[in-house]
Amino acid sequence: MTARLIVPPSPAMTWGVALLLCAVAVAGLGARPGPQLRRARLLLADGGPVGFGGPGSSFLPDWAGEWAERLRRWARARRELACLPVGCGVALLGHSLVPLIGAAVAVPLVRRWLAVRQREHERERCEAAVIEMCGSVAGELRAGRQPCEAVAGLTQVELGPGWPAVPAAARFGGDVPTALRKAALQPGAEGLNGVAACWRVAVDGGAGLAAGLERVAAALCAERDQRDELRAQLAGTRSTAVMLALLPVLALLMGSALGADPLRVLLHTPAGLGCLLLGGLLESAGIAWTRRIVRAAEGAGRGPA
């Protein structure tokens, strides 16, 4: 029999792997379950609650499920903090504080990027809610209901803090067009201005409100489809930008695999620090320039509202 020599991992490697696993756990807790997973949980729970600790998840006690849910919500609200474990891991592997400082600087930038994405999601959600509201009210008008009755029942629509005044105005005989224009100030709810114009014309001139709402919904759907098509066309540009941004990381991994120890050169020599600073500036400038090009293309594709 031949004896095998087992070399234990270094403490830096152990801590780096542990911190990377912590970052992956934070990212996993912050991820939102997809519709297929929610549907499966709902089926397995027999229509009951689908969260942690509910009737459909007996593998966790109530107190553990409650704390797990709180931890998941906190992780979703603080996803940018995942940069810190990654920075700590790289700092331990490279025996330098530079990656940790870079991770601390990256936290507000990632927080801003996540906030922009959240605002975009909220805008798209409001646009979809406006389209759904126009179709619902038009259907009820076709069925013979009065406009005020059809709008007064839309209390569950989520279109920002200004929307509850709209069904209240319809229920108590208030100025519905003015309430619609105030609710249209919510980002993504600009289509309510068209609804207010249709309401005013229908009340003053006797025109059909259902046909106007259907036209507004069709125009909003066409604008959304145009935006989705433009995003599909720009997907190649975005993928190329992401790939080019990840090339330095791949180069570091290849250098480490070949035994060149690039982290020591970058973090412990003047030439390496200069290259790291210059490369970071060029990387940031390239990402900003690509983002500007994509935003200009999206703005040109949208056109006037």
Write the pLDDT tens digit of every residue in 271-282: 888 888 898 888
Q: How confident is the model at residue 8 (pLDDT cuts 50, 70, 90)?
A: very low
Residue-level length of the chain: 305
CA distance 80 to 87: 12
Burial 246-285 (b: 16+ CB within 10 A, else e): eeeeeeeeeeeeeeeebbebbbeeeebeeebeeeeeeeee
pLDDT tens digits for 197-231? 888 887 765 567 888 888 888 998 988 888 888 88
CA–CA gap between residue 189 and residue 180 (Å, rounded): 10
Average pLDDT (167-191) is: 86
The position carrying tokens 């604008």 is 223
Residue 7 has pLDDT above 50, yes or no: no
pLDDT at 207: 61
The predicted structure's pLDDT at residue 61: 64
Residues 81, 109: contact at Cβ < 8 Å?
no
pLDDT band of 2, cuts 50, 70, 90? very low
Q: 114 vs 16, which has greater pLDDT?
A: 114
Rounded to the nearest angstrom, the gap between the alpha carbon of residue 169 and the centroid of all alpha carbons in its chain is 33
Number of helices (H) and strands (E) in the chain: give both, helices first: 12, 0
- Model pLDDT for residues 108-154, shown as the tens digit of each residue: 888 888 888 888 888 888 888 888 888 888 888 888 878 888 888 77
CB 24 within 8 A of CB 93: no
Q: For residue range 242-294, what is the model confidence (pLDDT) as tens digits?
A: 888 888 888 888 888 887 788 888 888 888 888 888 988 888 888 888 888 87
Query: What was the pLDDT predicted at 198?
Result: 86
Supply the pLDDT for residue 302.
56
Task: Say what the pLDDT of residue 33 is.
Answer: 47
With DSSP H G I counted as helix, E B as strand and the rest as coil, what are the percentages for the chain, rounded to 5?
Answer: 75, 0, 25
* Reported confidence tier of residue 54, pLDDT bands at 50, 70, 90: very low
pLDDT tens digits, 69-109: 777 777 677 777 887 888 888 888 878 888 888 888 888 88
Q: Please state, in angstroms and as integers, the Cα–Cα distance from residue 102 to each residue in 21, 209, 272, following that order.
A: 19, 57, 15
Whole-angstrom CA distances from 265 to 174, 185, 281, 284 are: 72, 54, 18, 22
Whether 183 shows a pLDDT value over 60: the answer reads yes
The predicted model gives 18-35 an average pLDDT of 49
Query: Region 159-172: what's the mean pLDDT?
Result: 84
**pLDDT for res 6:** 41
- Tell which wins on pLDDT, 301 or 135: 135
Lowest-confidence segment of 43-57, 227-241, 269-283 by average pLDDT: 43-57
Confidence tier at 29 by pLDDT (50, 70, 90)? very low
Helix axes of 98-142 and 192-205: crossing angle, nearest 10 degrees: 20
